[in-house]
Structure 1
Amino acid sequence: MSRATSPAPPGPALPPSAVRLLLGAGILVLWEALPRLGLVPELFLPPLSQTLAAMAGSAGDYAAHLLLSLRAIGIAMLAACGLGIGLGLLVGSIAPLRRTVQPLASGLYAVPLVILYPLFTAWFGIGPQSKIVFASLYGLLPCLLGTMAGIQTIDRQYLTIARSMRASRLQTITRVLLPAALPTVLSSFRVGGALVIVGVVVAEMLTSSEGIGYLISRYRTLLDSPHVFAGILLVVLLVFLFGALVGQIEHRTAHWRFATRSGEPG
């Protein structure tokens, strides 16, 4: 009588970092191979090697415009994420105010703000001011909404203890609400910051005469696909670097977090 064989145990799963690395390598290989094999016209997708060569050949031009974009992104991110998270903590801690502001902010967030960009250029001109204000508003709303949503997940017992200790509203926000809602706050910061980068680049593509978005738009009109994709690659790398920075902040502030359960602060 034959003995039943037990199935072999599954092999060790690849860690997420290895999966991301393999996926990224596969995308880069396809980027080089598809146009080389003629499967995609090079006008629509130039090979990766041509894109990198175009970036290296115009490195000075890209660096100068990238610095201008980074300046606008930095100012807009401070305004959007700083103001959005600060207002979210304040408004989220006051239930009547939150119930008024949250539907209004959600409705405004549903509006594609890019259609309002001509108004920003009319109000602030076509210089850096308009793109900074536009990108700030573009990233402010997700930070505001995400922070308010995070406040609503905090256990009311924390607020009760803070009140019993006669903590001021500022102390309650900085020492109770912010640490308790930190995972949601950082998630909203990740989304809002990425939208700030996109907002600056989109504004530069529409009306600006400087920045990475302007270079992408200029080379697009010249049908210079390698230079267009070089600019796009820089924007993608910028977003990835920002995501990595937020990941480091999440790792370093992990000790701030304490368990929360659903509860609505009064």
Structure 2
Amino acid sequence: GVLLGAVDSRGIVSAVKELQDAGIPIGVIIRNIPNAGKIDVTVDPNIFGIGQQAAVNTLNLLFSKYGAYEGAVLEIEGALTDNFSVDSHNGFMDIMEKFPSVTIVSKEATDWSFEKAANIAEDWLTVNPDTDLIYSHSDWLTQALPPVLKRLGYGPAGEENHVFVISSGAMPFGLPHIRTGYIDMITEIPTLKVSKLAAYWLLQIAQGNEIPDEVNLFEPGLSVKMINTKVKVGEKSWGTHISVPPAVVTQKNVDDPNLWGNIYD
């Protein structure tokens, strides 16, 4: 079998179809591949759900500041041709559109360019210095923001001139900014849990076994032991789908040794 982590879920379609024509089982992690017919198993962290969690994080932070669900938010998106960014935005707006007192402006950092993310943040904050929160779709982009915030005179969490920043990933270059207070919350993309689950069930498929309606998750970190916690298996237009729930990282748990960003630091 072949386990794929597609950066470009559209550009890889022809290669996937060649594997399918050859009868080779395929597993996919993180980004689904929606236009290549039925994939044997896709395991992801529910990107739409991560967008929803980002909305919950946003609302909690705004409420902590104002005692109400109100404020001004800048959303920095990745490439809009990437279903990761599309699902992140749609999940975020699925909840945020119910809170009209929160103003949201979305801007695309084309091609996941953190240089463009930095320029977006600097240009926006220069004109809109009272922005309350920035939601960046990934630590890959978010790592560009602390230098901008410092240059413009914004401080870390706990200071009056702080701009809330939330992100997704819990990557090695995201977690340090939680520690310094320039990122407030990161919704983890549980890469290790996703990868272990996908590899296990891809092997089972290659051996002729079927995936049941529920499957056990693996222990966090590098352990290959399963735990009693189960998640449901679903069927999507692109094939069998398993979603692994993420955690929210703050200063309280940023040093958890099982976070993949700490393992590969």
State the TM-score, normalized to the length of structure 2: 0.23
Higher helix share: 1
In terms of Rg, which structure is larger?
1
State the TM-score, normalized to the length of structure 1: 0.23
Higher RCO (CA-CA < 8 Å; seq separation 6+):
1
